[in-house]
Amino acid sequence: MRSWSTRLFREIRDDGLFDAAASVAFWILLSLPAALLAGLSSVSLLGDGLTADLRRVTLEFIERVFTTEADTLADSVNDLFDQQRSGVLSISIAVAIFTVSRGFAGLIRALDTVYDIEERRNFIHTRALAIGLAIGTLVVIALSTALWSFGADRSVPILLRLAIAGAVLIAWSATVFHIGPNHHTPWRYDLPGAVFTTIGWLALSIGFGWYVRLLGGAGTNDVLGAAGALLLALTWLWGACTVLLIGGEINEMLASRAGVVSDSRTIVDVVRHLRSTGDGASTDDGDGASTGDGDGASTGDGGFGPASTHAADGDPLRER
């Protein structure tokens, strides 16, 4: 366990994880107004009741995390919710989603760094993936808000609601780890980092509230003002991105040790592989077919990556 922790620390240091997290946090902060606009727009499609629930949940989160410095951020959020939204559901939401995608494009680059792989996808592919992740995140926010409000209205115990919210976050974090980096691993190797990320985000939100209370005091908000609230938001985002990238490091270490990492699959790659397999089987009904069903199948990954041939040896998840 000690040697594993030492290796994790070494990976974090060698990959410059904290610097990468700062870069992602900066881009996400720049995209935050657009993210709030897009989130509000997507939730408002489901009715004014859910919009009111989103406002309440957002303000509760700000109050819990930023405590004594929450007033400035809360005023900004209230102004956003109170503004007229006649054109929000048309051009504005499209522009907002494109703006948010810049932050997710930075996250994709950071995940490639964490997983020690080179980004070979073109700009259009990467930006389309970033837009997809941005839309997915907005959907997760809307879904989580709806589930939380539904449970509160029906007096569902808060521990059960937290468990449901945690399951949603784990599923989405695993999805980000699975499709974000330019590689392919089985889904089960995305779960350890996703669980770590979800627990880490919960601990960060609680701990950051204590941190702000230690910094806060009489007259502190008057001195810091909007700039202080902005810096606190950037600090929290940096911590959240750091937790996510450490989760990626954990997944990378487990997958590399098990030898299940292969090149990222695309639809074109799958079609080409199926064609080549079909041609090989038709031209050689003997050795060719047996090779496709024997050695090729034994790779455990459909012949997409040489690293997966070692999946049976040293698999830390299977050993458990």
Q: What is the mean pLDDT of each run of 10 residues along the chain (320 residues)?
A: 83 90 85 67 58 72 66 70 54 68 87 87 88 84 75 81 88 93 90 95 85 62 60 87 94 89 60 60 48 45 43 45
Classify 224 as helix, strand or coil: helix
For position 299, what pLDDT does the model report?
Answer: 45
The confidence score (pLDDT) of residue 196 equals 96
User: For residue 121, which of 264, 260, 248, 303 has the smallest C-alpha distance?
Assistant: 264
Per the structure block, which two tokens stand in for 8?
Answer: 């994790």
pLDDT at 150: 76
Report the pLDDT value the prediction gives residue 64, as an integer from 0 to 100: 66
- C-beta separation of 45 from 89 below 8 A: yes
pTM over 0.85: no
Contact 273/303 with Cβ under 8 angstroms?
yes
- Looking at residue 59, what is its pLDDT? 75
- Residue 62 confidence (pLDDT): 73
The separation between CA 163 and the C-alpha centre of its own chain, rounded to angstroms, equals 18
- Return the number of other C-beta atoms located less than 10 Å from residue 64's C-beta: 13
Length of the chain counted residue by residue: 320
Neighbours of 187 (CB within 10 A): 11
Residue 213: C-alpha distances to residues 60, 86, 200, 218, 280 (Å): 16, 39, 20, 11, 67
- Expressed in angstroms, the distance from the first to the final Cα of the chain is 14
Q: Among 179, 178, 197, which residue's Cα sits nearest to residue 188? A: 178
Give the Cβ contact number of residue 119 at 10 Å. 15
Q: What residue spans of the chain are helical by DSSP H? A: 2-14, 17-44, 48-66, 70-82, 93-114, 123-153, 158-179, 191-215, 220-258, 267-283, 287-293, 295-298, 316-319
Distance of CA 300 to the CA centre of its chain: 27
